[in-house]
Amino acid sequence: MKDSLNIAIAGATGYIGLQLIKILLKHPKVKISYLCATKSIGNSIHLFDKEIVDKKLPKITKLEKVNWKNLNVLFTALPNGEAQKIIKRLPTNVKLIDLSADFRLEDYKKFKQWYGIDHNAKKLIKDSIYAITELSKNKIKKYRIISCPGCYPTSVQIPLVPLIKKKIVSTKNIIIDSKSGYSGAGKNLKNKFKFKNLFNSVSAYGVGSHRHMAEIDQELSKAANKSVHVSFTPHLIPMFRGILSTIYLNLNGNYNAKKIYNFLKKYYKNNFFIKIAKFNQPIGTGEIMNTNNCMISICENRQKNKIIIISAIDNLVKGGSGQAVQNMNIAFKMKETLGLK
């Protein structure tokens, strides 16, 4: 393909990697040159997802076999810590779009605190951008390392950051209750969670200590120009994909739920993937499944000075590979929606 971007995907056989392949196969301006993993070398990616039947796709290879010379983008959907090692041997002509937590935190000491490993590329943090597309699209082009936010933080920050910047809502006592399909935990789900009846019950986890709190606090603190600490509890529910976050907020001044509905509708009116539901309308993940959309509903609380915001995304798309492709489109000055409609 003329003028197409040459792409490599590291971690191609995981849930995010497979979703990324499906999206990029529909993208008119990319060529998938390498699919990398540590196992199943030489096999077809079709082994891991029967829906992927494109015969032109390369066989699975080791990352060490990649010829970086003609490559434009490396997507990394790897365990935390791996992208920090890879970036050191990556030529400067290749953009890194990372779907792990490796460059999400601006303070390497906080990375060690929350992830339990030393940061391997401290000096390169300044060359990275934490990129929820709609909140950072004017800056993405300038950066070599694009760090894609976590799935829960994406669902939370899209409605919250504009409200906090405008001081419309209080930064005190922000309560976030999120529920995710089990694909968010990756393929080694059963090693991570020892709950009984995992696929038939709802389970809270990471209570008071989930790693995504670090990036939520970081970004909300930047929006507020002061320290913000949220209360956040995630839950694993017995479905494959999707996130529903319910956010409880106190209002500032004379704002009410209707004013906030009008504000967010206006704020995001030129953003294709942000959908504002009708006022006071309960929503679910059914409305956004297999899309790059974030659907937001603003609801009244029975107490006048409080509101409830519900935010729904597909954790594998807007919370992962879809947002990564959206960021790539902007970084290379392409139409933001390419491959994603």
Query: Of 304 and 245, which is predicted with more confidence?
Result: 245
Q: What is the residue-averaged pLDDT of the chain?
A: 94
Residues 195, 72: one domain? Answer: no
- CA dist 271 to 174, 225, 267, Å? 25, 25, 9
Residues 275, 294: one domain? Answer: yes
Residue 141 has pLDDT above 90, yes or no: yes
In a domain, 134, yes or no: yes
Residues 30, 52: one domain? Answer: yes
Instruction: For residue range 20-42, list pLDDT tens digits in order.
Output: 999 999 999 999 999 999 999 99
Q: In sequence order, what are the residues at sequence separation of 6 or more whose Cβ sits closer than 8 angstroms to the Cβ of residue 166?
A: 263
Residue 73 has pLDDT above 70, yes or no: yes
Which residues, in sequence order, are bridge partners of residue 96? 74, 145
**SS3 category, 222:** helix
Predicted local distance difference test score (pLDDT) of residue 98? 98
Predicted local distance difference test score (pLDDT) of residue 195? 61
**Residue from 148, 151, 294, 299 carrying the catalytic annotation:** 151
In a domain, 339, yes or no: no
Model's pTM, two decimal places?
0.95
Predicted local distance difference test score (pLDDT) of residue 1? 54
Domain count, the chain: 2
In a domain, 337, yes or no: no
> Given the structure tokens 């959309």, which residue do they identify?
293
Predicted local distance difference test score (pLDDT) of residue 310? 98
Residues 130, 207: one domain? Answer: no
In a domain, 309, yes or no: yes
Residues 194, 132: one domain? Answer: no
151 included as an active-site residue: yes
Residue 198 has pLDDT above 70, yes or no: yes
Task: Check which CATH number belongs to the domain holding 108 and give it.
Answer: 3.40.50.720
Residues 288, 263: one domain? Answer: yes
Cα–Cα distance for residue pair 12/15, rounded to 1 Å: 8
In a domain, 191, yes or no: yes
> Given the structure tokens 């077809």, which residue do they identify?
44
Q: Which whole number is the average pLDDT over 196-216?
A: 88
Residues 166, 25: one domain? Answer: no
Residue 102 has pLDDT above 80, yes or no: yes
Instruction: For residue range 287-303, list pLDDT tens digits in order.
Output: 999 999 999 999 999 99
Domain that holds residue 54: 5-149+319-331
